[in-house]
Chain A
Amino acid sequence: MGIHSVTNAAIHLQNAARARIGLTSIPNTKYNLRLALAMHRAGLLASVTRGGPKPPPPEAILSGDDGEEVTSANVATRRIWLGLKYWNNEPVFKTVQPVSKPKRLVTATLDDLQKITRGFKAGMVRGLTLGETLFLSTDRGVLEAREAVARKVGGLLLCRVS
């Protein structure tokens, strides 16, 4: 499965945050949705809502569902609407750096992840510093590095966000 779409989505979020945008959308794919939910769990996003080409109404954002069923007829127009967070006039989702790129995929074993989450270098991957999060794709879905360590899995490193 290619990772360019998730990388693009992550970079789009960084651009949107720098433009101080409150609600933005990324293409509706399962991979994007899993990454978005992982970021939501990490507290980087305010909301994740599946909707159409138009922004969903506020109540739909609160519930996370605009009520419209995804069918084969409308699936191509579905998008994932993401609420961005700001704190003290600064975006919470400030910078993102892709780790794997379509040309070179980077994976990390559990041992590597344990080092990285403690702030030490593992292979080519720098350790996490204060406030940094690392998202990786595992067989348990897209997880944050610390979640992966808790579940004792390694995987494909997607991007680091701080």
Chain B
Amino acid sequence: MPGCEAKTSDGDNDDDNTWHDNNSTLSNSGSSLHRLSARRRPRFANVRASDMGLMDEKQIEEFTKEKFPKYRPEELAHLGKIYSPEQMAALEAGEAAIDPRDLTVQGRLRADPYRMPYIDDFAETQPVIDKRARNKAPPDPHARFMNLDEFAQDLIDWSDKLPQGEVTGSLKRLEDFVPEAYRARPETQWPTEVREDARKKFQRYMEGEVTKQQKALNAKGSDALSDIGSGPTDADILQYILERSVMTDANRQTDSSLAPALPNKVPGVAGLYKTVIDPEDQGKDDLGVYQDVKRRTGMTVREILNLRDKQLLVRDVSNQTRLGKVRSCSVIHVVGNGDGWLGYGEAKATETQLAFRKARINALLNLRPIRRYENRTIYGSITAKVSATIVKMEARPPGFGLRVPYRIFEMCRAAGIHDLSASMPRARNPMNSIKAAYWALCNQPDPEEMAMARGKKLVDARKVYYGGAVY
């Protein structure tokens, strides 16, 4: 808004005036200090800066021009090549913000203990202090692995650039010392005298060659070794193995440490790791999580997914090793069909989600029938003890409900038990209470077995009275 602007500019002007006033006051007071009594005058008079010409505006200007010159057009053009336009704008803004005169008058080399340990114009990178410069071009996005022909061509290109020495083919071979008639045949078919003669000649020839090369070496000195030496050195080969690109990117050097990804279809591997989706699953298990459970239990995926499951306990546990604590997640899971089957699964993994899945699958594999009296409660009363935890369960009449601790409640719900009372008179450790409850449900007394053991006839009175219509 114009009004605001006017006000601000007024304020600025006020400030400027004040600054000038202060300045004048200071200079006045300086002059008054100079006129002190003789008694206060120092014995060794200091030389004033203005007397030394240091406060001479002309000299300051000269010094500034010499030490802090402005960028020349060619320098700016060169910087424009290195930096983006935005960076150049920032650079120019920075240049404009600092008055070179201030650098001359106020600029000091720091001598305090907290100064930076180096004076730098940031022209060079210092590996410990500075981030690594990344000046190279990005990797070629269209590069692919070389095929056999390209690879061979690349190898030839590489070897062509190496200094050429004695080529292996130029030396004479053993075959060159036998008569024309035998040259085509292999060595074993030569007559003995011909072979021995050829070997003698070949050996004499090789000795001659060696002495010839030795002489050449001595004549040229050790610098000539690379000229005579044939082919690449070990360092060349190492460099080829480690640094030569195997992609069709003409050995382009980049700053990226990302290795190129494998292609979508790697020949020889493509199609081998495909999960077979069973159409019977109706698309409910495309990831194949339940395929093993399906095979081992004979249940369909729909049945598996329809089971009631509950995660009863999650604990963070850690294994203390010499490298530190290795944390993992321990999970207890129960699964039931709500109609007399209950499974208990315990699993541990460093990944929480993996532990959940493992525990659930273990519970599925552990599914077992739970005896139920009239499909609603347990038989008699059971006491189970795990460590200091005792779980007491008692059968209860219809309509009693589940008056039990909540973990046992979930187990009963999964197993399809509707009337039960349970108590834990001693310790109530979560893990032990689950284990004890599961043991109790799986180890109920069997009245028929008891009757057989005692040789008695057993009749359930509830099924005799009221025509058995008691439920």
Chain A residues engaging chain B, CB cutoff 8 angstroms: 42-44, 85, 87-88, 92, 129-131
Closest to A86 in B: B453
Give the shortest distance, in Å, between B314 (CB) and chain A (any CB). 36
Find chain B residues with CB under 8 A from A42 CB. 454
B456 contacts the other chain (CB 8 A): yes
Closest to B450 in A: A131
Number of B interface residues at 8 Å Cβ cutoff, please give it.
13
Contact of B454 among A44, A88, A129, A130 (CB under 8 A): A44
14 A/B residue pairs, CB under 8 Å, sorted by A: A42-B454, A43-B453, A43-B455, A43-B456, A85-B453, A87-B452, A88-B449, A92-B453, A129-B381, A130-B379, A130-B380, A130-B445, A130-B447, A131-B447
**Beyond the given A88-B453, A131-B445, A131-B447, could you list 14 further A-B residue pairs with CB under 8 A, ordered by the A residue number?**
A42-B454, A43-B453, A43-B455, A44-B454, A87-B449, A87-B452, A87-B453, A88-B449, A130-B379, A130-B395, A130-B447, A130-B450, A131-B380, A131-B450
CA A125 – CA B455 in complex, angstroms? 27
CA A129 – CA B378 in complex, angstroms? 12
Closest to A132 in B: B380
CA A130 – CA B453 in complex, angstroms? 14
Chain B residues engaging chain A, CB cutoff 8 angstroms: 379-381, 395, 445, 447, 449-450, 452-456
Find chain B residues with CB under 8 A from A85 CB. 453-454
Find chain A residues with CB under 8 A from B455 CB. 43
CA A92 – CA B456 in complex, angstroms? 12
Give the shortest distance, in Å, between A119 (CB) and chain B (any CB). 9
Check B380 against A43 for contact (C-beta < 8 Å): no
Give the shortest distance, in Å, between A28 (CB) and chain B (any CB). 25
Closest 6 CB pairs of A and B: A130-B380, A43-B454, A87-B453, A92-B453, A43-B455, A131-B450
Find chain A residues with CB under 8 A from B456 CB. 43
Closest to B454 in A: A43
Most buried by A among B379, B447, B453: B453
Q: Given A42-B454, A43-B454, are A130 and B449 also a contact pair (CB < 8 Å)?
A: no
Q: Given A43-B456, A44-B454, A92-B454, are A129 and B449 also a contact pair (CB < 8 Å)?
A: no
CA A14 – CA B340 in complex, angstroms? 34
Find chain A residues with CB under 8 A from B395 CB. 130
CA A115 – CA B455 in complex, angstroms? 25
CA A43 – CA B379 in complex, angstroms? 21
CA A98 – CA B381 in complex, angstroms? 20
Closest to A118 in B: B461
Give the shortest distance, in Å, between B384 (CB) and chain A (any CB). 15
Give the shortest distance, in Å, between A34 (CB) and chain B (any CB). 19
Give the shortest distance, in Å, between A50 (CB) and chain B (any CB). 22
Closest to A44 in B: B454
Find chain B residues with CB under 8 A from A88 CB. 449, 453
Give the shortest distance, in Å, between A39 (CB) and chain B (any CB). 10
Find chain A residues with CB under 8 A from B452 CB. 87
Find chain A residues with CB under 8 A from B380 CB. 129-131
Most buried by A among B445, B452, B454, B456: B454
CA A117 – CA B274 in complex, angstroms? 66
Give the shortest distance, in Å, between A130 (CB) and chain B (any CB). 3
CA A88 – CA B453 in complex, angstroms? 9
CA A131 – CA B445 in complex, angstroms? 8
Give the shortest distance, in Å, between A89 (CB) and chain B (any CB). 11
